[in-house]
């Protein structure tokens, strides 16, 4: 069973975001537990939490990093090597727009919002991304 965020944990994250320590969105935080905020973007509203093996930063790093050595039955998409976590929000902010919301392909519409869109990287390579956030929040589940 997946260990996703509960409604109470989502509310805690959104409440914590109002604290003074998160006033500057250019600072990366270490995060000690599942609901710790690592990065956020005031401009887009995206929030990257520490998470765990099933959601957030730890999930993305373990499942989608090129350096991950964890075997998966499926073939998960991998993040570009030159794209550090602080750049994730820059790229995903371009995807996190109402016009990219995809209701038809969302397998869990009661829990998540699915956004799909392209980003052109510095080398002119266009990559299509899928961003999944917790419903009606900017909290990143995965991409």
How much is the mean pLDDT over the chain? 90
Domain extent, residue 33, equals 7-142
**Are 102 and 112 spatial neighbours (Cβ–Cβ below 8 Å)?**
no
Report if residue 1 sits inside a domain.
Answer: no
What is the number of structural domains in the chain? 1
Tell me the whole-structure pTM to 2 decimals.
Answer: 0.91
Q: Distance between CA 40 and CA 29 in Å, rounded?
A: 10
Report if residue 2 sits inside a domain.
Answer: no
- In sequence order, the 6+-apart residues with CB closer than 8 A to the CB of 64 are 76, 77, 78, 79, 142, 143
Q: Render pLDDT for 71-92 as a digit per residue (tens, 0 to 9).
A: 667 767 777 767 777 788 999 9
pLDDT along the chain (143 residues), means of 10: 94 96 87 94 95 94 72 70 81 96 96 96 90 98 95
């Amino acid at each position: 069973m997946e260990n996703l965020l509960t409604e109470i944990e989502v509310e805690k994250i959104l409440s914590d975001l109002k604290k003074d320590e998160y006033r500057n969105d250019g600072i990366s935080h270490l995060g000690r537990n599942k609901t710790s905020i690592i990065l956020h973007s005031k401009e887009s509203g995206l929030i990257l939490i520490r998470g765990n093996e099933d959601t957030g930063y730890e999930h993305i790093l373990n499942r989608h990093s090129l350096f991950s050595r964890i075997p998966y039955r499926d073939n998960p998409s991998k993040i570009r090597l030159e794209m550090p976590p602080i750049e994730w929000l820059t790229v995903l902010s371009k995807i996190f727009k109402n016009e990219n919301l995809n209701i038809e392909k969302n397998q869990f519409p009661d829990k998540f919002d699915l956004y799909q869109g392209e980003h052109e990287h510095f080398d002119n390579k266009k990559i299509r991304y899928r961003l999944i956030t917790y419903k009606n929040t900017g909290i990143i589940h995965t991409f």
